[in-house]
Amino acid sequence: MKNDPNLDILRSLAVTIVFGVHFAQAIAGSVYGQRVVFGLDTWALGRLGVLYFFVHTALVLMESMERSKATGWTLAKQFYIRRAFRIYPLSMLLVILVVILRIPENSEAGTRYVWRGFGWLLSNLTLTQNLAHKGLVSAPLWSLPYEIDMYVLLPLLFLGLRTGSAKRLATVYGAGLILGLSFEKAMLMPCFLAGIVAWWLLPRVRKRFPAWAWLPYLLALSIGWGLMNRPDDLRSGTAAVCLLAGLGIPLFHRASGWITRAAAFIAKYSYGIYLWHTPLLWYFYRHLQMAAWQSTAAVLCSTTLVSAVTFHFIEDPLIGIGKRVVARLTKHEGARVSAGSVGTATAPQV
């Protein structure tokens, strides 16, 4: 299925924001713990990019389950297998390389590599850092455990909402919003639910706004987030900005032109860009003694190259393996069902 260009714009903007704020920190030579760089709250902006990722992820995964036509446990099993092959290979490679090469957690000045034990390593390999409280091997890994946690719920939400009413959708979103505002561990749930709201609305509402306005709309949301975010409150505005982004997805006509082509390219390699840019920033800005322009060129080129190489040699092949595993399981289950049906139909009547 061809990618939605508006979703490519959302995903490419998300990774560009994350990369941009970390790049600004590296250029400014900021020290660990410093959040305001060049007058910008880089923590808030970096978090915004991740929030957009969550909205995008929930929507495309609901669409993926819809296309599968599977139901019940078969649907959930297929979903978990495909996601495991999608998210773990690259993150595990990152963890292993960072530990072997002794690369610090982030690229900020003053950060040093620290070995924290095998429990720390295992929690990062399995993306359970938020449950184990062992710390991060590499800073970008902080968001992935929240995705893993939400994966547990997504098949259930899909089965409950695909034929559900607007009232049921509002009930689910309201419950998630209350949980997100009440409990720190659930604070990002409204962002995933905003993507689910967008998925539910897509076939049910008419597009009202021109395609060219989609990117300006997202930029306006981003500026609004920056203005309203309070540095002392991680959850400030989170639900609002995610819901507004999600509600906008079904209302804008689909974009076209050079912007969408550029966005599609960035979106294609966005997972690699997200994971690899931090160790590469550290290497070229902190480890090597290079002129600023040389470090900048090296980071841009190496991030593009490494992300593309790992996509074509790791991400894409493993995604294909995941699909084949699911197809084989589906075929075997279908054969068992058919054999059972034939056996029942031909059994002698007593």
pLDDT greater than 70 at residue 152: yes
pLDDT greater than 50 at residue 346: no
pLDDT greater than 50 at residue 284: yes
For residue 335, the model assigns a pLDDT of 62
Residues 235, 48: Cα–Cα separation, whole Å = 11
Span 294-313, average pLDDT: 97
Span 304-332, average pLDDT: 94
In a domain, 90, yes or no: yes
- Per DSSP, the three-state class of 162 is coil
Burial of 344 per CB tally in 10 Å (0-12, 13-18, 19+): exposed
Q: What is the pLDDT of residues 8-57, one digit of tens each?
A: 999 999 999 999 999 988 888 877 677 777 777 788 888 899 999 999 99
In a domain, 252, yes or no: yes
In a domain, 339, yes or no: no
In the chain, alpha helices (H): 5-28, 42-68, 72-101, 118-125, 129-132, 144-161, 166-182, 189-201, 214-228, 238-248, 258-268, 270-281, 292-310, 316-346
Q: What is the pLDDT of residues 164-221, one digit of tens each?
A: 899 999 999 999 999 998 888 888 999 999 999 999 999 999 999 999 999 999 999 9
pLDDT greater than 90 at residue 131: no
In a domain, 314, yes or no: yes
Domain that holds residue 84: 5-333
Number of domains in the chain: 1
Span 128-133, average pLDDT: 89
Burial of 105 per CB tally in 10 Å (0-12, 13-18, 19+): buried
Residues 286, 300: Cα–Cα separation, whole Å = 15
Span 261-269, average pLDDT: 96
In a domain, 194, yes or no: yes
Q: What is the mean pLDDT of the chain?
A: 89
Whether the model clears a pTM of 0.85, i.e. scores above it, the answer is yes
pLDDT above 90: percentage of residues in the chain:
69
In a domain, 348, yes or no: no
Using alpha carbons, select from 147, 1, 162 the residue that is nearest to residue 71.
162
Residues 106, 285: Cα–Cα separation, whole Å = 11
Q: What is the pLDDT of residues 80-122, one digit of tens each?
A: 999 999 999 999 999 999 999 999 999 887 889 999 999 999 9
Q: Which of 2-6, 233-237, 239-243 has the highest mean pLDDT?
A: 239-243
Both tokens of 327, joined, read 């197809």
pLDDT greater than 90 at residue 290: no
pLDDT greater than 90 at residue 234: no
pLDDT above 70: percentage of residues in the chain:
91
DSSP state of 38: T
In a domain, 340, yes or no: no
In a domain, 346, yes or no: no
